[in-house]
Amino acid sequence: MSHRILITGASVAGNTAAWWLGRAGLDVTVVERTPGFRDGGQNIDVRGVGREVLRRMGLEQAALEQGTGEEGTAWVEEDGSVAAQFLTADTDADGPTAEMEILRGDLARLLYEPAGEHATYRFGDSIAGVEQDDDGATVTFASGTTERFDVVIVAEGVGSTSREMVFPGENAPRWMNLTIAYFTIPRQADDDRLWRWYNAPGGRSVSLRPDRHGTARAMLSVQQPPGGEQDWDGDRQKAWLRTRFADAGWQTDRVLDALETTDDFYLDVLRQVRMPRWSGGRVVLTGDAAWCATPIAGYGTTLAVTGAYVLAQELIRSTDMRAAFKAYEQAMRPMVEDAQSVPRLAPRLANPHSRLGIGLLHGALRVASRPVVRSVAGKLFGGRSRDVDLSRYDTPTSGGSLIAPRSPAAAGLSPLLALGAVAVVLGASAIVGRRNAPDPSHPGIRRWYRRLDKPGYTPPDAVFGAAWPMLETGLAVGGYRLLRQPSGTARNAAVGLWLLNTAMVGGWTQLFFREKRLGASAVASGAMVASSAAYLATAAKVDRPAAAAAIPFVAWLGFATLLAERIWRDNPGERR
Ligand SMILES: Cc1cc2nc3c(=O)[nH]c(=O)nc-3n(C[C@H](O)[C@H](O)[C@H](O)COP(=O)(O)OP(=O)(O)OC[C@H]3O[C@@H](n4cnc5c(N)ncnc54)[C@H](O)[C@@H]3O)c2cc1C
């Protein structure tokens, strides 16, 4: 067991590690760069396995009690009317708003106060240099002092300077093409308990969230490639936001006015931290400093709490520091990779640039918020299959490896078998589709379809004719690539979702053209948006080209859902 431990960064990850290591009797010093404890920050959430860690610390209930009281998420139109909403009361699973929504500063303080009983905190200092030898690490601080430690834990967040000092050039950041500014604004009488999200053309969004401090939390997002905005000073950042959002509508003027007076303005150009290793000698990274997944993943705080706990447990249990670092990395990598697998397209889909795109987004969300598909959406936002298994820390240390050896992966299908399987599945779907098509061989269906009142943006038949073969080719490529992958939980789930989506395509033509059930087919179309998005997200964990081949399919289904819903609304005489 290592005795003297230095932790840099007194936020979520640093305080969690200090809490566990201090209580285990180790000599823990926490050094934080800012002159005092940092209370700032906006709404964050803790999900799944992160909640289990808080439960093990006896802090889960307190965190729930200090929650922001957010009751759900609503996408609003320019006049404030609700386009789609997800209420926490309507579902058991965590949706865009999780059950445990808390301000970053409140959670960090909740961890910091009890951690302070067993660790020494030093504010206003940081690492200036580290020299390592066989017996320890000599750390020189910016304050000028020099001390020896057995282990140095770097928990300094996404822009960690100590990481760059010890692992120069190793981080290969993945820029997410999204810039977000967060700040607190005065609450007004008609602010409610919902996270209100307004999309304006040009890839901009404005959102307002409730808190329990009598204020409201504002967020301005711009979907664009990075332009170095994170390095500008605050005045330049604010001036840029004022120009970008000048004509955005809804409550934007109120939010921009508050830029003048807010005292916790924070702007970040989102990027993931991608490190090939998390430790070197006696220095180990954790939290955002090791693997920032960005707020788009909705999992950063869960990862920080969980990673710090796993690292602390491995250090407490092992007599060999390097073995502890190895076990920590082996346990956390799958969970981190899962959270980081969010496609770079996601910010673009959530922040459309055109009015048509915003209409499509709202249409897809409206359908996805319906009870029949809500549980699927909840699962997309909820706990993940690659969460670390904490049960390994339930038992006292045995002295042996705590990581169960992985069973060898079963091989994927041979090229011939994979091709055969794809041909059979897509062939069956195509046969059902052709059987119901509104073409000259089915004059009854064709006449009925032509009679329907359709919106002006309905593509001509020739476009449908060209689009489907292209989409089916994408599905074929994806299915083939996935079937060739070794069998495993994620791969099998992706293949299952591929089969489901293929079957649903055939099923939809049956519902719409043959049974003429317009309402049911609009709901089915929305369900397909959710199931195809789930397919894309799952495939991305296994094979990125397979996921990329599914993107046109998901986009087309979003459009088709809007169209199906409009046809259902505009043809009341045909409703069943
Ligand atoms: C002030 C603040 C506001 C935030 N607001 C939001 C938000 O609104 N929404 C959101 O999703 N996420 C926000 N985050 C990020 C969020 O806290 C993290 O994504 C997540 O909780 C992981 O936490 P972490 O402890 O790894 O890193 P962080 O929470 O980023 O904490 C890093 C800590 O290290 C300190 N530090 C940095 N460099 C050094 C150094 N060289 N030496 C010593 N200390 C150092 C920082 O001051 C900070 O206290 C915020 C973070 C901070 C610090």
Q: Which residue lies with its CA nearest to atom 3 of ligand 1?
A: 41
- The yes-or-no verdict on residue 379 having pLDDT over 50 is no
Q: What is the CATH number of the domain that holds 526?
A: 1.20.1260.100
Predicted confidence at residue 360, as pLDDT, reads 85
Residue 107: inside a domain, yes or no? yes
Q: How many CA atoms lie within 13 A of 408 on its CB side?
A: 2
Confidence band of 376 (pLDDT split at 50, 70, 90) = very low
Predicted confidence at residue 575, as pLDDT, reads 61
- pLDDT tens digit sequence for 442-457: 888 888 888 888 888 8
Residue 257: inside a domain, yes or no? no
For range 381-406, the mean pLDDT: 58
Q: Which residue lies with its CA nearest to atom 30 of ligand 1?
A: 157
What's the burial of 514, exposed, middle or buried (CB within 10 Å: 0-12/13-18/19+)? middle
Mean pLDDT lowest for which of 10-14, 98-102, 169-173, 306-310? 98-102
Confidence band of 381 (pLDDT split at 50, 70, 90) = very low
Confidence band of 403 (pLDDT split at 50, 70, 90) = very low
From 335, 363, 393, give the residue that closes a domain. 393
Predicted confidence at residue 61, as pLDDT, reads 94
Distance 180 CA to ligand 1 centre (A): 15
Best of 7, 11, 42, 213 for a ligand 1 pocket test (most atoms within 8 Å of beta carbon): 11
Percent of the chain residues past pLDDT 90, beyond the cut? 51
Whether residue 284 sits in one domain with residue 156: yes
Q: Which residue lies with its CA nearest to atom 38 of ligand 1?
A: 156
Mean pLDDT lowest for which of 53-57, 240-244, 258-262, 501-505? 501-505
Whether residue 35 sits in one domain with residue 113: yes
Reduce the DSSP state of residue 487 to 3 states and report it: strand
Give the start-end residues of each E strand in 406-494: none
Predicted confidence at residue 365, as pLDDT, reads 82
Q: Which residue lies with its CA nearest to atom 19 of ligand 1?
A: 300
Residue 192: inside a domain, yes or no? no
Contacts of 204 (CB under 8 A, 6+ apart): 220, 221, 222, 223, 244, 245, 248, 351
Domain housing 286: 4-70+98-172+272-343+382-393
Whether residue 166 sits in one domain with residue 33: yes
Q: Which residue lies with its CA nearest to atom 4 of ligand 1?
A: 41
What's the burial of 190, exposed, middle or buried (CB within 10 Å: 0-12/13-18/19+)? exposed
Residue 24: inside a domain, yes or no? yes
Cα–Cα–Cα angle for 155, 161, 166, rounded to 5 degrees: 85
Whether residue 138 sits in one domain with residue 287: yes
Pairing, β 146-149 against β 279-280: unpaired
- pLDDT tens digit sequence for 25-44: 999 999 999 999 988 788 89
Distance 274 CA to ligand 1 centre (A): 17
For range 279-295, the mean pLDDT: 97
From 324, 358, 393, give the residue that closes a domain. 393
Residue 38: inside a domain, yes or no? yes
Whether residue 420 sits in one domain with residue 330: no
Whether residue 331 sits in one domain with residue 386: yes
Whether residue 429 sits in one domain with residue 388: no
Predicted confidence at residue 88, as pLDDT, reads 80
Residue 349: inside a domain, yes or no? no
Whether residue 339 sits in one domain with residue 441: no
Whether residue 441 sits in one domain with residue 318: no
- The yes-or-no verdict on residue 375 having pLDDT over 70 is no
- pLDDT tens digit sequence for 524-564: 888 888 889 989 988 888 888 888 889 989 999 988 888 88
Residue of 360, 65, 78, 67 lying closest to 196 (CA atoms): 78
Strand partners, 280: 283
Distance 556 CA to ligand 1 centre (A): 38
What global pTM score does this model have?
Answer: 0.71
- pLDDT tens digit sequence for 199-213: 999 999 999 999 988
Percent of the chain residues past pLDDT 70, beyond the cut? 92
CA 362 and chain centroid, separation: 19
Q: Which residue lies with its CA nearest to atom 51 of ligand 1?
A: 41
What is the number of H-type helices and E-type strands within the chain? Answer: 20, 18
Predicted confidence at residue 404, as pLDDT, reads 32
Residue of 343, 185, 317, 323 lying closest to 264 (CA atoms): 185
Atom of ligand 1 nearest to the CA of 156: 34
Ligand 1 pocket, Cβ-based, cut-off 6 angstroms = 8-14, 31-34, 38, 40-42, 44, 104, 126, 155-157, 160-162, 182, 266, 287-288, 295, 300-301, 304
Average confidence score pLDDT of the chain: 88
Residue 56: inside a domain, yes or no? yes
Q: Which amino acid makes up residue 42?
A: Q
Q: Is the CB of residue 479 less than 8 Å from the CB of residue 502? A: yes
Contacts of 473 (CB under 8 A, 6+ apart): none
Whether residue 471 sits in one domain with residue 387: no
Residue of 212, 229, 211, 228 lying closest to 220 (CA atoms): 229
Atom of ligand 1 nearest to the CA of 160: 38
Distance 269 CA to ligand 1 centre (A): 14
Q: What is the CATH number of the domain that holds 335?
A: 3.50.50.60
User: What would you report as the CA-atom Rg of the chain, rounded to the nearest whole angstrom?
Assistant: 26
Whether residue 425 sits in one domain with residue 318: no
The token pair at 208 is 């307002």
Residue showing tokens 């495939």: 539
Residues 171 and 166: their CA atoms lie apart, in Å, by: 11
Mean pLDDT lowest for which of 366-375, 436-445, 475-484? 366-375
Q: Which residue lies with its CA nearest to atom 37 of ligand 1?
A: 156
Residue 327: inside a domain, yes or no? yes
Whether residue 132 sits in one domain with residue 279: yes
Distance 155 CA to ligand 1 centre (A): 8
Distance 315 CA to ligand 1 centre (A): 23
Distance 156 CA to ligand 1 centre (A): 7
Residues 67 and 366: their CA atoms lie apart, in Å, by: 27
Distance 160 CA to ligand 1 centre (A): 10
Q: Which residue lies with its CA nearest to atom 53 of ligand 1?
A: 11
> How many domains, the chain?
2
Cα–Cα–Cα angle for 210, 196, 185, rounded to 5 degrees: 45
Residue showing tokens 């991608």: 274
